[in-house]
Structure 1
Amino acid sequence: MTEGTTATDGADTLTRLEQEGDIAADYLEGLLDIADLDGDIDMDVEGDRAAVSIISDSTSRDLQKLVGRDGEVLEALQELTRLAVHRETGDRSRLMLDIAGFRARKREELAELGARAAEEAKGSGEPVKLNPMTPFERKVVHDAVAAAGLRSESEGEEPQRCVVVLPV
C-alpha cells in the first residue's frame, strides 16, 4: 500500500470498480438485446479501471458490427457505456470496453509498433514520429517505448495527435 492508503481504501475502490462493471454489463446486455446480437459479457478489474468485454462463441461476424471500421463504433460504445455508468453513480468512469478481442489484438500490434519505433530511434539517433492515434493507442505505444528504455511524447491536437519516439 502507498503512504496514506489503507486496505479499506483499496477494498472500496475494488467495490466501486466492480459496481461500474455491473452497471456497464447491464447497459450492454440491453444494447445487445435491442440489436438482436448474441454475445456474453465478461467483467474484470484491470489496474485502476473496470474492464468489460463482449465475447461470442459463434463464428458469426455479428459483433464486428459493434467494432466498426478501425474500432470507431467500439470507441463510441465505450463512451456511451461510460455515460451510463456516470448517470448511475455520479462519478466519471474510466471503464475500458473490448468487443470480440479487438482491443486485445490492437494492444499487441501497438506494442510491437512501439518497440520497432524505439529500435529505429536508437539506430538512427533521430526522433521517430508515428501516425495519429487515439488516446488508448498512444498509451500502449508510450508504455512499449518506455519498456524499451526510451522516452516518447505526444504532440499535435486531437484527432491528429501522435507519438514521437525520442532517441537516447
Structure 2
Amino acid sequence: MTMTDVTEHEAAQTEPSAQALLDEGDAAADYLEELLDLADLDGDLEIESRAGRVYLSVESENADDLRLLSKPDVVAALQELTRLAVHARTGVFSRLILDIGGSRDARAQELSLLVDRAVERLEAGASSAALPPMSSYERKLVHDLVADRGFTSESEGEGADRHTVLRRA
C-alpha cells in the first residue's frame, strides 16, 4: 500500500459533514473558476455530493472550449491539483471527483467495453483476465461492473502499475 493509498484509506474511514462537503465543493469550484478564467475558457460548474464525496462537473455549451481539458490524463491531473487546492484552503484531504465535458461518462463506457472483452476471455476458458493499470476510482468502477456480470475481481500491483484482475466467481 502506498502513502497515497494509506491517506485515501484513512480519509475514507470518516464521513465528512454536510458543511465540510459544502466547503470542499466551494473551494474546488473557486479554484477551477480561476483556472478557467486564466485559460480564457467558458465553463459552467455543477457541484453535487454523493456518498460522502464531492462531484464537480465542468460543462460548456461550446464543446471545443473543454476539448483539451477533457482528456483523461488532463482530467486526472486537474483533479489532483484541485484536491491540493482544497486541502490548502480547508486543511482536509479531498476525495472529490472531477468531470470535464462528460469525460467520466465516456471513460465509464470505455471501461465497460474493457470488462466485456475480459469477460469474453474468461468465458472462452481463460483462468483470469488482467486489465491495464488505472486509477483507484476507475478500478472501483471496474469492480462494480465485474460484479454486475457475475464475476470476481481484485486489484493487484503497486503504484502506477496497480491494475484489476478478473476471475470466475
TM-score above 0.5:
yes
Structure 1: distance between partners of 2:84 and 2:125 = 44
Task: Specify the alignment match of 1:152 in structure 2.
Answer: 153
Is residue 95 of structure 2 the alignment partner of residue 65 of structure 1?
A: no
Sequence identity (%)? 47
**Shift, 1:31, TM fit:** 0.6
**Shift, 1:96, TM fit:** 0.3
**SS state at 1:33 partner:** helix
Residues 18-33 of structure 1 aligned to structure 2 (within 5 Å): 18-33=22-37
TM-score, scaled to structure 2: 0.83
Q: Identify unmatched segments of 5+ residues in structure 1.
A: 1-8
Residues 82-161 of structure 1 aligned to structure 2 (within 5 Å): 82-124=83-125, 126-161=127-162
Structure 1: distance between partners of 2:107 and 2:150 = 22
1:50 maps to which of 48, 51, 54: 54
TM-score, scaled to structure 1: 0.83
Give yes or no for contact 1:132–1:161 (8 Å, CA) kept in 2: yes
Change (3 A) 1:125 1:167: farther
**Shift, 1:122, TM fit:** 4.1
Q: Identify unmatched segments of 5+ residues in structure 2.
A: 1-13
Task: Tell me how many residue pairs correspond in the alignment.
Answer: 156
**Shift, 1:108, TM fit:** 2.4
**Shift, 1:116, TM fit:** 4.0
1:79-103 deviations in Å (ceiling 9; x for gaps): 1111111112111010000000011
Structure 2: distance between partners of 1:122 and 1:92 = 41
Give yes or no for contact 1:115–1:144 (8 Å, CA) kept in 2: no
> Who wins on radius of gyration, i.e. which is larger?
1
Change (3 A) 1:47 1:111: farther
